[in-house]
Amino acid sequence: MNSTTRKPVRLAVYDTLADWETGHTTAHLARAGYEVRTVGPTTAAVTSIGGLRIQPDAALGDVRPEDSSLLILPGADLWDTTDDLAPFARTARAFLDAGVPVAAICGATAGLAREGLLDDRDHTSAVSFYLAATGYQGGGRYLDTDAVTDRGLVTAGPTEPVAFAREVLRLLGVYEGEVLDAWYRLFHDSDAGAYAVLEKAGAL
């Protein structure tokens, strides 16, 4: 797909968001020609857990699945301390119902569990008992691995930002096969041997 016809990727931003979790994903999507647009609860500025102040490009209520390529939900303390982010989980349901993929990492997986979106999909998170505490019904579909993609939904735990990006890049067709494997080995394992594969593919 030509970069001029690609729909934007929506990156959710909210107070206490874990700013280290989505950097690989958004950087490499942008390099592949995707426009990354931030979406907040409103258009008021939010502050990440690292103290970064972010001005959202749009309010959640103004974002539609049909105008988007992907919704990314980072972790945040607010997923576990309030219900303030529940509207983002409901939006994730709308995206998935419309056939538009969603990628959730860390605390956002608990938000999706509470919304019932993990009950019938393979998924992962930080640890199984973290999601079990939400009272969800999907414990039997939990996989103890770095990241999982099932029917348009990517999940990962907070220590796996590179695996999270790998799944998103595969899902959107940015990289695949040997090139995707080399990308992961470079950024996750610091495998210098992966450079040659990526250079040959024009992926650096």
Q: Report the half-sphere exposure of 124 (CA within 13 A, side-chain side).
A: 17
CA–CA dist 166, 5 (Å, integer): 23
Residue 53 designated active-site: no
| E-only strand ranges, the chain | 9-12, 36-40, 46-47, 53-54, 58-59, 70-73, 102-105, 147-150, 153-156
Distance (Å) of CA 123 to CA 81, 102, 106, 111, 113? 22, 12, 12, 13, 10
H helices within 106-147, ranges in order?
A: 107-114, 128-132
Among the listed residues 106, 131, 172, 180, the single catalytic one is 106
CA–CA dist 118, 110 (Å, integer): 9
Beta strand 53-54 with 46-47 is: antiparallel
Catalytic residue positions, numbered: 106
